[in-house]
Structure 1
Amino acid sequence: MRSSVEIHDIETGETYIVWQTDDLVEAPNFAPDGSHLIVNADGVLFRLWLDEGEPEPIDTGFAIRCNNDHGPSPDGLWLAITDKTMFGKSAVYVLPAEGGMPRLVTKALPSYWHGWSPDGAHVCYCGIRNDVFDIYTIPVAGGEETRLTFGEGRNDGPDWSSDGWIYFNSSRTGRMQIWRIRPDGSGLQRITDSIYGDWFPHPSPDGKSLLVLSYDGDVVDHPRDHNVRLRLMDADGGNARELFELFGGQGTMNVPNWSPDGSAFAYVRYSP
């Protein structure tokens, strides 16, 4: 599977190719200062500098089985990762952004990181407990997890907006669609009611727009080898429009991928 890491400019509609490789690369995040992207490949995280240069491995200590659920804290000081080296199941850790030894955040496993709170004090993630997929939050400094959903279908892909909503995708009505909820579990709202299977909602930095990856409605789960479309809409689901189609899915934009100023976003396009 050939990977092309790209950046799409919302206003101009232009695409900039950052890196292409015959290796499987996934889930680009922008660094908070906009200088580079963070991606994963073969269990390792890399920096991709936007002023070119070779990919630079990030030191993640013992964590050498990292997956595509990772991202920097809002202040740029920390990096959240999801790794299964230690326990054989995915767990959420944080480590210094420049690299270092990971510190375990979640005790219940498996757990898959997906977003930081705006103040950087909490993270949200998908946890699988007794084969049930639900949305959780937990303080980064340590503590007990807070469960926000309760087994109504599969709940996955949470991302925290700057105005305090946690967006996620849920199959509670049959087809996977986008919902949002407050961190205290209140205010549950359905955002999309589309013909597609909608995954991986990412609110823009200003909280006004929402980027969504959409499969054809009959596709089950989130495979990486399908024609998908990236759609942009208002934060409440209004004015949805398709930006473009591509071959991808899993790994294309699993985690927060907006540029710091909200003018662009990063993603991965695949080809056999």
Structure 2
Amino acid sequence: MAPRELLPGQRAEIWIIDVDSGERRLRWASSEVLVEAPNWHADGRLIVNANGQLFSLEADGDDAPSPLPIHGLDDLNNDHVLDPDGRHIFVSDSGTRHIHRADLTTGEQVQVTGDDGGLWHFLHGVSPDGREIAWVGLTFSEDDGVRTNLFTSLAVQAEGLAASPGRHQLTDDAFPDDGPEYSPDGQWIWFNSERGSAEPGHAQVFRMPAKGGHPTQLTFDERVNWFPHVSPSGCKLVYLSFPTGTEGHPENRDVILRELYFDSGYRDLVALPGGQGTINVNSWSPDSTRIAYVAYPFD
């Protein structure tokens, strides 16, 4: 799977927004490198992917992104999540179709998902204690086409195993499910799904118990909602809203970054040209005040 590239006349812009005030700051922009999916490290760095690799830059600095080589992997996609220990990061590699845990300093990595019957593994969440990961498993068949279901498993080395250690399947149906992410207390899995609609597309935000159980729908509107991210404080939630009728989470759409109020609807934070790559992973600041995101405007 070839990494995305910027189109002629397009830029990638990393922005930081204060969620309460709405104040925004352009952190970095490029007309040559397409960056995606900021993670926010506790040490103040943002970690993004580009060209199949990871890069870091200071959230409040003025440096350009610098590479973080991960040994043996050169096809990393935008599904990367920091380990709570602060020393490692979990990554999805499109070449191996597996999830790996990598050392941020040395670049050494180990595979942490097993063969799982040929599933493609796409990471989205890491438990607060770093002991489990939540991921999307993709299957392909002539009869059913592409099916996506949600899984959790242990975050331990699994290379060569027939199944991921401690694998637990959270969903087992034909509804497109994606973006599973743990709540800060580890009790819930937040995700987006089309299970609330009778038509293709129209994903909404849901959550379910982390050990499995009945999903509860949390958004109910005409737009298409993806990638719910809960703040480290557990008090705020931001997600990406696509135009009505959008199928999947494509690039180059007019999207809205929204904050969900747990008891009274939502409010718009910013409208932007984006979609795929904007906030595929949790990009809250450690103090739960700011979000980093990527826009992709054209000149």
Q: TM-score, normalised by structure 2?
A: 0.86
Aligned to 1:147: 169
C-alpha displacement of 1:152: 4.2
Aligned to 1:124: 134
Asked whether 1:62 is paired with 2:72, we answer yes
**Among the aligned pairs, what percent are the same residue?**
35
C-alpha displacement of 1:191: 0.8
Asked whether 1:133 is paired with 2:148, we answer yes
Match of 1:37 among 35, 46, 53: 46
SS of 1:103's equivalent in the other structure is strand
Cα RMSD after superposing both structures: 1.4
C-alpha displacement of 1:99: 3.8
C-alpha displacement of 1:182: 1.0
Match of 2:18 among 9, 16, 19: 9
Aligned to 2:293: 267
CA contact (8 A) 1:28 1:37 kept: yes
Q: How does 1:181-196 map to 2 (within 5 A)?
A: 181-196=208-223
From the superposition, tell whether residues 42 and 17 of structure 1 become closer, same or farther in structure 2 (CA, over 3 Å). same
Aligned to 1:217: 244
Paired residue type of 1:249: G
Distance in 2 separating the partners of 1:158 and 1:52? 32
From the superposition, tell whether residues 24 and 154 of structure 1 become closer, same or farther in structure 2 (CA, over 3 Å). same
From the superposition, tell whether residues 2 and 99 of structure 1 become closer, same or farther in structure 2 (CA, over 3 Å). farther
Match of 1:84 among 94, 99, 110: 94
Q: TM-score, normalised by structure 1?
A: 0.94
Asked whether 1:243 is paired with 2:243, we answer no
Aligned to 1:159: 181
Aligned to 1:20: 29
Which deviates more, 92-101 or 249-258? 92-101
Distance in 2 separating the partners of 1:7 and 1:173? 32
From the superposition, tell whether residues 216 and 54 of structure 1 become closer, same or farther in structure 2 (CA, over 3 Å). closer
Query: Structure 1, residues 67-91: CA drift from partner, whole Å, max 9, x if none?
Result: 0000211221210111133x3xx21
CA contact (8 A) 1:228 1:249 kept: yes
Query: Structure 1, residues 14-44: CA drift from partner, whole Å, max 9, x if none?
Result: 11111101121100010123x1100001101
Aligned to 2:226: 199
| Over 6 Å off, 4+ runs | none
Match of 2:193 among 154, 170, 173: 170
From the superposition, tell whether residues 99 and 151 of structure 1 become closer, same or farther in structure 2 (CA, over 3 Å). farther
Paired residue type of 2:172: F
Distance in 2 separating the partners of 1:177 and 1:54? 35
Paired residue type of 2:102: L
C-alpha displacement of 1:187: 4.4
Distance in 2 separating the partners of 1:9 and 1:20? 19
Higher Cα Rg: structure 1 or 2?
A: 2
Aligned to 1:256: 282
Distance in 1 separating the partners of 2:194 and 2:263? 17
- How many pairs align? 267
SS of 1:68's equivalent in the other structure is strand
Paired residue type of 1:56: S
Paired residue type of 2:98: A
Paired residue type of 2:26: I
Which structure 1 segments of 5+ residues have no match? none
CA contact (8 A) 1:192 1:237 kept: no
